[in-house]
Structure 1
Amino acid sequence: MVLLLLRQPADQKSHIANLPQAVEVDREESSVDDLVKAIQSSTHLAPSRLRLFLASSKTALVPNSPLNAYDMHDGTRVVVKDLGPQISRRTLLMTAYSGPVVIHLLFFYCQTLFYGTKFQHSASQFLAFTLITLHFAKRVFETLFVHVFYRITVSFYSIYVYILHYWVLSGVFMAYYIYYPTCLPVQYSTSAIDHAASNLAACSSSVSLMSSTAESEETSLYFLSAVWIFAELSNFETHLIIANMRLRFPRQAATARSMIARRARTANARLLGLRSLSSASHFASSMARRFPKGYGFDWVSCPNYFFELLAWTMITLITRSFASLLFLVASAMQMWRKAARKHEMYKKEFGAEYPKYRKVLIPFIK
């Protein structure tokens, strides 16, 4: 048994009420989860809100890991941090990605409701609708059956940012302008001149993608669709590589995988290959860190972001919409920030072992 001294970080905004000054646990038989439960029984905070660190080394205590994997003795100080209200990362992403699918379906099929008229969509509008819904359906599938998360919860307030980015920007804003009636059927006119003038006015906003001929535009749509398919399949492949790497070499920032198993679907639980960390030696070996290698990762640190941006670039060219361009720019800025942070983390953690020729996001450039 060891007596651990508990304290809160000095810079924590929200004070943890009823946090005990010390707690006694069996170092050889207990896990970090047992320590969290002992603290939770006094503070009445959800376990997902509590994050523990060793005060001396700033080492994070990984949920479901044995206490004997850490340097603990009587009087060891443990910092208890309140992360605030949490939401499952899987739930957050499912909510974010499913929203645009429903929104685009409504704008595409409920024309009278949003535009006050019934009209026939152009080929580029129909193609854009197909590619966008397939993209988000793929993201939903990956969230359920592919992604393995280092942290299974995030701040609850993240949902507002995700809804703004996906539901508003790529959902309502993009759908409204992409499916806007650009070439309505011409009503009956008393003269051929009126008929021609009406037809010209109705179709004035319909611009050919790369040339004035229908044949050239059709060829362009085929080409852009082919690049989009390549980008989406490549993005899926990189996600599989990352998931496989995290299964074999989970990071110390990972949270309780047993919790994922209880909440995820049976197929997803089998995919995760959950194992209990029953010993300190098992824990140390399973926490070995690796960086991803293989398809796409030979060029950049985050090829999954690069291929996703390539797919959205194709959609922007197909729609020729300012709304699509705005979403592309916003996504690029966000992904660049994440990729740069991960690139620096890899370089710092692996040093000379990390390939120097790898760029951040754009192959051979940056």
Structure 2
Amino acid sequence: PQLYPDRQSYRTEPTGKSVKDTQKLSELNVDKTGKIYFKDLGPQIGWSTVFIAEYAGPLLIYLLFYIRPSFIYGSLAGLKPMHFAAHLGAACWKFHYAKRVLETLFVHRFSHSTMPLFNLFKNCSYYWGFTALVSYFVNHPKYTPPSFGYAQIYLGLAIFILNEIGNLSIHLLLLDLRPAGTNQRRIPYPNKNPLTNLFHLVSCPNYTYEIGPWLAFSSMTQTLTALLFTFAGAIQMTIWAKQKHRAYKKEFADK
């Protein structure tokens, strides 16, 4: 009972690639003397569960710093009015992660149903930790507003909104490429939405549109910790994008 299907992996070679759940023994060219190698993947957890946890955390944590600054900075913190940039930063942060939760529930279709349980703690530590770091300085009573005033704030807001719309546009396009209940994958091409034309330049424009809002947020709030969060995310998404690009080239080599 402990080795439920999602934690089982089977290979035709000791270090080979795991066979797909939909494959039959007759399709694997394994005769009566052949071997099938089993691996226990360890405790698993659903992708959507991890995504909701890692995205819901930033919503609640940021709200604590924003709504109850006296809990974090002392009783006098709540008496000092926040700058407009801090209010706008909170709105953008909440919008972004509310969008991510809703996309997890209604838009994303995952290639695999589960991931290692350890990823829950790893991912939540990353998102929750950076949320605390960023929100601590943006909502601080001694917060220093952007150097170029409202022009810098509104320009950052415009770039933030544009990239958020672009990111959603890509996610909706990818949704249409994968029929519900399948692991089918097709080559993504731009549709009539002009924001999807970024597919002509990169394989994973959803990551490009994911980095964009945080660059805008960093400028809009002018905080170094937000820029650090952006930089860390950009490194990770660049790695993912390269992996997906290689996967596309391997899977669709003849197209």
TM-score after normalising by structure 2: 0.88
Decide which moves more: 341-350 or 49-58. 49-58
AA in 2 matched with 1:127: L
Q: CA deviation at 1:111?
A: 1.4
Distance 1:340 1:87 in 2: 26
Percent sequence identity is: 30
- The answer (yes or no) to whether the contact 1:209–1:318 under 8 Å persists in 2 is no
Q: CA RMSD in A?
A: 2.3
Corresponding position of 1:49: 7
- 1:166 corresponds to 2:104: no
Cα shift readout 1:253-311 (whole Å, capped 9, x = no counterpart): xxxxxxxxxxxxxxxxxxx2x37xxxxxxxxxx85x52211112111011001011001
Q: CA deviation at 1:68?
A: 5.0
Q: Which structure 2 residues correspond to residues 200-349 of structure 1 after superposition, within 5 A?
A: 206-210=144-148, 217-247=149-179, 272=180, 274=181, 289-294=185-190, 295=196, 296-349=198-251
Distance 1:69 1:53 in 2: 13
Distance 1:290 1:54 in 2: 26
Q: CA deviation at 1:127?
A: 0.5
Q: Comparing both structures, which one devotes a greater share of its residues to helix? A: 2
Cα shift readout 1:151-207 (whole Å, capped 9, x = no counterpart): 1211111122212210011x111111110013xxxxxxxxxxxxxxxxxxxxxx634
Corresponding position of 1:134: 95
- 1:92 corresponds to 2:24: no
Q: Secondary structure of 1:351's partner?
A: coil
Decide which moves more: 108-117 or 69-78. 69-78
Pick the structure with greater CA Rg: 1
- The answer (yes or no) to whether the contact 1:128–1:319 under 8 Å persists in 2 is yes
Unaligned 5+ runs, structure 1: 1-39, 183-204, 211-216, 248-271, 276-285, 354-366
AA in 2 matched with 1:240: L
- The answer (yes or no) to whether the contact 1:239–1:304 under 8 Å persists in 2 is yes
AA in 2 matched with 1:337: I
Distance 2:100 2:50 in 1: 12
- The answer (yes or no) to whether the contact 1:93–1:143 under 8 Å persists in 2 is yes
- 1:179 corresponds to 2:81: no
Unaligned 5+ runs, structure 2: 191-195
Cα shift readout 1:61-87 (whole Å, capped 9, x = no counterpart): 322555555445534422211111111
Q: CA deviation at 1:348?
A: 3.3
Decide which moves more: 71-80 or 146-155. 71-80
Q: CA deviation at 1:225?
A: 1.2
AA in 1 matched with 2:147: L
Corresponding position of 1:269: none
Tell me which stretches of 4 or more aligned residues in structure 1 moved more than 4 Å.
56-59, 64-70
- The answer (yes or no) to whether the contact 1:56–1:77 under 8 Å persists in 2 is no
